Amino acid sequence: MVAKVITFGISKGGCSKTTSSGITAYLLSQEHKVLCLDMDGQGNLTSFLTGEFDICGVYEGKTTLEAIMDEDVSSYIVQITDNLHLVPSNDYLASLPRRMFEEKKGTSALSKALAPVLNQYDYIIIDTPPALSEHTILSLSASDSVVVMFDGSQFCYYAIDKFLEICEAAKQKGNSKLSVAGILFSLIDIRAKENKDMIEVIDEEYSTLRFNTIIRRKATTRRLGIYGFFDNPELKDALENYIPFVKELKERVAKGQNSKEETTSRA
């Protein structure tokens, strides 16, 4: 096996990148070997999967930052379950751009760090911060596919084009295998008129890119951040929306579709 690397991103905060990447990883791990990589210094994916909130104390010197600098994630992997593993992060990941400059690392640094474990996993899932920073660029440079998160808001709508441009740049500058798996609507109240309108706008402008699955805003999904994935009586309800999404994602990633035109240009 050679892992498919999938980044969840958008340069707008609070659009469910962490929630969606964490749930996707958990669901994939029911059948596959999955490694999660937390590329956001907020460490939300780390806390989401481990239940640990003292990320600076517990994971000091044991994070994606050190893994990237060592160009090998192997000794930074934390086991969540047999099939679900994690490279954690904490606030020190903010120093990534400085460390890259000092140690003369290029945009392929994360790709190099993942290379030693690619044949140990079916999927590697990367959560990114809400910024077009080195953290996001390194993630895209190491990925096969990217899921563009969209909460249906006007602010996020204007982030999509810019994010797709960065994806295209990563593709042109060395990662020719990168494809956009799609745009995932999340945190959606389908009864709200503006959300229905936005679905039409996205379909018109990005033709086939939208995932058919729409992730609704759900209290049980929000509470996963509190109760976690284990011994949670609400788990089934919390994950329900994501089951068809993960099926779609697997199909799209397997195809590795999306031409340059589909990825970057509006219809």
**Which residues here bind ligand ATP, judged by CB under 6 A?**
13-19, 40, 42, 44, 129-130, 186-187, 215, 217-218, 221-222, 225
Interaction residues for Mg ion, span 27-66 (CB under 5 A): 44
Residue among 7 and 44 whose Cβ is closer to Mg ion = 44
Residue among 239 and 263 whose Cβ is closer to Mg ion = 239
CB of 103 to ligand ATP, least distance (A): 26
Binder of Mg ion out of 4, 12, 17, 252 (CB under 5 A)? 17
Token reading at 183: 């745009």
Residue among 83 and 213 whose Cβ is closer to ligand ATP = 213
218 binds, among ligand ATP, Mg ion, none (CB under 5 to 8 A by kind): ligand ATP
CB of 15 to ligand ATP, least distance (A): 4
- Note whether 20 binds Mg ion by CB under 5 A: no
35 binds, among ligand ATP, Mg ion, none (CB under 5 to 8 A by kind): none
Asked whether the beta carbons of 44 and 226 are under 8 A apart, the reply is no
Residue among 17 and 105 whose Cβ is closer to ligand ATP = 17
Q: Which residues contact 144 (CB under 8 A, 6 or more apart)?
A: 4, 5, 6, 177, 178, 179, 253, 256
Other beta carbons within 10 Å of 116: 13
> Exposed/middle/buried for 224, CB within 10 Å: 0-12, 13-18, 19+?
buried
Residue among 34 and 238 whose Cβ is closer to ligand ATP = 238
Burial 24-47 (b: 16+ CB within 10 A, else e): bbbbbbeebbbbbbbbbbbbbbbb
Phi, psi (degrees; rounded to nearest 5) at 42: -65, -25
- Note whether 18 binds Mg ion by CB under 5 A: yes
> Exposed/middle/buried for 214, CB within 10 Å: 0-12, 13-18, 19+?
middle
Residue showing the smallest CB distance to Mg ion in the complex:
18
Asked whether the beta carbons of 251 and 182 are under 8 A apart, the reply is no
Residues forming the site for Mg ion (CB under 5 A): 17-18, 44
